Amino acid sequence: MFQLFVLLTFVAAFPPSFAVSSDLDAVVVVFRHGDRTPVSPYPNDPYKNRSYWPVDWGMLTNVGKLRHYNLGQYFRQRYVDFLPRLYSEKDIYVRSTDVDRTLMSAQANLAGLYPPVGTDVWKDNLAWQPIPIHSIPENMDAVLAAKKPCPLYDIYLQDLFKSEYFWKVNRLNHDLYAYLSRYSGRTVSTLKSLEYLYNTLFIEASNNFTLPNWTNTVYPKKMQPWAALSFATATFNEKLARLKSGPFFNELITYFKNRTDTPKGAQYYSPKFLMYSAHDTTVANLLNSMGAFEYHCPPYTATIIFELHKPSQGSPYLNIFYKNTSEALPVKLETCDINCDFQSFQKIMAPITISVAEWKSECNSVIAQKIAYFAMFVVLFFMVISIVLFATIAMKNRRRPVQLLYTQLPGEYN
């Protein structure tokens, strides 16, 4: 009876309103980590003392762990007929940014997705099993963290913020910036710095802390739209999207192409499920790069789901969903609706899709250009110096009186 009650409770918590067809071939999920503490409290923050918080700055809280555990259970229910309950490295590959809260979120998620059953049980009364999570340092990661240095991207972003549109945005927010700077004790002069402060206030309010009186006139109503806009800036145009999200879409498309081109019985058939644990900026960047971002601050565990289908008749097609509430809702691209033909998806994303090798070449092209300009300057400099020096010597020789070098012979008279 108890087991039946648990089952009914689970079904009620995760109603089967979604339908995953039998031709589903591969799934990729990208999600934001769970609830965390503030990364950096502002100078005048009444809750900047570490004693107010259960864990250190920027770390995953117990609420965040539970939220991701529940998301893992959601994946288990959604893909109950697709993803075997027994764990196998041939079924799933997990990658996370190299940040504690994303690594821990992936662990909590996997605990909900893969509670040990059968031969996976390795210790009695322990509903958990170790599953590998892969990561690389953020400053080396151009795909998921997207924080590997790219000089050309930095130039494009600077140009964006110098544009008339963002000049007007900053001018419009001049008084708001000044107000926030005065009362927070930290300089707020950009959308990014405003969003950081907004995020801290959001976390404190979510933890039932009473916010200072000065926030009443600005939080959340006045700050929220600008905080939401800040999430669009990193991929605001095609050039930025190409260098920020392009390597990820190249990896995504390459993975799906491998799934469509390789027979299921092949020895190196890639895993059917890829899991990426990342950040709110990651979710916003990917949605915006697809032209599907409705300005907002992606909440904890916000998830993008890519599902590749291989029907027995017809071409492979793709469905994309965004889950930022209880249910995953379809993401419709501008020229591709539900059951988007995979080839069409590739064409849509082609302008921004870029391999890591191409990304590296484009990012460093500005450095090569600077080196070329510097080398050209050095050559021209020495050419000018040489010309000036030669001309100076020639002028001196022209002005010098001609001296006849003559030696008088013996016996010669003057």
- The b-or-e profile of 196-221 (16+ CB within 10 A means b, else e) is bbbbbbbbbeebeeebbeebeebbee
Active site residue 280: yes
Question: CA–CA separation, 159 vs 329, rounded Å?
Answer: 35
DSSP assignment letter at 208:
T
Helices 191-206 & 174-184 angle (0-180, nearest 10): 50
Catalytic residue among 33, 68, 279, 309: 33
Which residue's structure tokens are 């009444």?
46
Q: Is there a contact between 102 and 276 (Cβ–Cβ < 8 Å)?
A: no
The rounded Cα 315 to chain-centroid distance in angstroms is 30
From the CB of residue 10, how many other CB atoms can be counted at a distance below 10 Å? 12
Question: What distance separates the 2 farthest-apart alpha carbons in the chain?
Answer: 144
Question: CA–CA separation, 199 vs 36, rounded Å?
Answer: 11
Q: Is there a contact between 326 and 348 (Cβ–Cβ < 8 Å)?
A: no
Token pair belonging to 244: 């920020």
Q: Is there a contact between 305 and 78 (Cβ–Cβ < 8 Å)?
A: no
Catalytic residue among 45, 279, 280, 309: 280
Catalytic residue annotation: 33, 280
